[in-house]
Amino acid sequence: MGNRIDLHIHTTISDGSLNPKEVIDEASKNGVYTIAIADHDTIEAYTNELFEYANSKNIKIINAVEISTKNNKIGIHVLGYNFDLKDTKFRERLSKIRNSRHDYLHNVSEKLNNLGYFLNVEELDKIEAVTKAHIALDIINNKENEEKLLNDFGHIPNKGEFIETIMNENCPAYVKKESITPAEAANMIREANGKVVLAHPVAYVYEDNFTDEDISHIIKEMKPDGIEANYLYVDRNNNRIDEIEKWNNFAKKHNLFVTVGSDFHNKDGIRPEIGFVNTDFVLGTMLVNEIIENIIKK
């Protein structure tokens, strides 16, 4: 088994740029032989056809999902792995979370329109797991918004900058979205016989000014099996931040296993691509095998 593994990849079913089969193709091209598609609040990527296609490319898939939650008004993402794909209750709960995304879309579009931004709500509504990223990209890529964006920002912002300046809490187009807590998401995953992982803790430090103590508090509440310690974070100024060693030590301290994920959405020349092939980051064979074993063992 090769050392390339990536357990956090998004597809067009949520807010990625590649469809599930294209993700398999990209993983194969990059020499990545174990992957997990972790779309936002949906597991629709996981079809029999996809598993067969992956098998034909000699790629192992570990099923996953990234669930959007709120903790004291801060967005926290919870990853679930190796759960029962046929669990009806789990699917129903995910569907309810996705429906809240579309309610959010219509409410936030009203605020954005009032601010003077044009938004293609009809097209966005067709996306099953519509996200803030979809909405922000629709706005910044629309020529009708160019003058408004230049006036507001002095340049055309990237999606992260637009979200953090216009859409997040205490911003002019903030809308509260119905959500569940990290602990509730963790229970959902456990009830479907899956493993619970706190996604990219490094992101909460840089985006929400979380301290290690804040992260420890979340850990105490949700009782995850692991954390996504092997993760390269890119901030709003496109600086790549490597705190992998810190979060691996944090995991040991809290008796958690670690996972690894690029959080791949699209090739932008900055963020890690599938399998981290555009970075210097590589895991040793022993750790790769340990990560897989921790996730798949019941």
Q: What's the pLDDT score for residue 2?
A: 53
How far, in Å, CA of 133 to CA of 144, rounded? 18
Question: Do the domain assignments include residue 162?
Answer: yes
pLDDT in tens, 153-201: 999 999 989 999 999 989 999 998 778 999 999 999 999 999 999 999 9
Q: Are residues 214 and 101 in the same domain?
A: no
79 and 99 share one domain: no
The answer to the question of residue 172 being in a domain is no
Stretch 137-148: mean pLDDT, rounded? 96
Averaged confidence pLDDT in the chain: 94
User: Residues 278, 144: one domain?
Assistant: no
Query: What pTM does this model have?
Result: 0.84
In percent, the amount of the chain with pLDDT more than 70 equals 99
Higher pLDDT, 35 or 237: 35
Nearest CA to 94 out of 40, 48, 45 is that of 40
Please tell me whether residues 100 and 88 are part of one structural domain. no
The number of folded domains in the chain is 2
Residue range of the domain that includes 163: 94-167
pLDDT value, residue 129:
73
Residue 177 is predicted with a pLDDT of: 79
Q: Are 83 and 102 within one domain? A: no
Each residue's pLDDT tens digit, 17-30: 999 999 999 999 99
In a domain, 193, yes or no: yes
Collect contacts of 14-17 with beta carbons under 8 A, ≥24 apart.
14/39, 14/40, 14/41, 14/42, 14/66, 14/128, 14/129, 14/131, 15/40, 15/127, 15/129, 15/131, 15/133, 15/134, 15/265, 16/264, 16/265, 16/266, 17/265, 17/266, 17/267
Confidence band of 99 (pLDDT split at 50, 70, 90): confident
Are 75 and 161 within one domain?
no
Q: Are residues 231 and 119 part of one domain? A: no
Which is higher by pLDDT, 79 or 97? 79
Q: Does the pLDDT at position 1 exceed 60? A: no
In a domain, 89, yes or no: yes
CA dihedral 167, 170, 173, 178 (to 10 degrees): 80
Co-location of 210 and 289 in the same domain: yes
Residues 132 and 62 in one domain: no
Q: β-strand 226-230 against 64-71: which pairing, if any?
A: unpaired
Domain-located, residue 84 = yes
Within-domain flag for 134 = yes
